Amino acid sequence: MIPIATAKWDWNFPKNNQEKTGAAMKIPGNVLWFEVLLYMSLVLDALSVAFQDRTPSADLTESTILFANVTAAGLILLMCYFVWLAAQRRKNWPRWVLVASLVLSVLSLFQIVDEEGLKVDSALEVVSCALTAAGLYFSFTGDAQGWFNA
């Protein structure tokens, strides 16, 4: 029974001559737009973190700045994972997490712009929120409607 024990390994081995059964699913256009726009938004978020003021002061120590940067990087990676789950794995719940994240980002952005005005990092954040909103719009409309599993 050795062939049965190795059948799965043989099928997945890159140099075998067997073809996999089943056709690959083509990603709908709106889902592709969703994925591209949200990844662009996350790149802008990373740039926004890069433009933040990192000057230590009495209120802001170096360890606090380091913790904030590591937390921001972790959240950006988590959001990348959510975009991948939604677009490539057809999961529905990450879209709703991204919607909630957008709502919180917009509320935070209004507060920051109201207090400090429009600076480079907040201007990047405005563009990032617009890209996220557009991407999420595409994920709920057109040919994307039947793509996401519950």
Label residue 1 by pLDDT band (50, 70, 90).
Answer: very low
Q: Has residue 150 got a pLDDT over 90?
A: no
Q: What is the mean pLDDT of residues 115-142?
A: 93
Secondary structure of 16-76 in HEC code, one letter for each residue = CCCCCCCCCCCCCHHHHHHHHHHHHHHHHHHHHHHHCCCCCCCCCCHHHHHHHHHHHHHHH
User: pLDDT tens digits, residue range 91-124?
Assistant: 999 999 999 999 999 999 999 999 999 888 788 8
The Cα–Cα gap between 43 and 66 comes to 20
pLDDT of amino acid 56: 87
pLDDT in tens, 68-94: 999 999 999 999 999 999 999 999 999
Average pLDDT score over residue span 127-145? 96
Q: What angle (nearest 5°) sits at the alpha carbon of residue 67, between those of residues 61 and 70?
A: 140
How far is CA 53 from each of CA 33, 44, 120, 121, rounded to the nearest angstrom? 32, 16, 11, 9
pLDDT at residue number 86: 96
- Categorize the per-residue pLDDT at 23 as very low, low, confident or very high, splitting at 50, 70 and 90: low
**Where in the chain are the domains?**
46-150
> Which range (30-44, 48-62, 66-80) has the least confidence?
48-62
pLDDT at residue 24 greater than cutoff 90: no
Which of residues 142 and 21 earns the better pLDDT score?
142
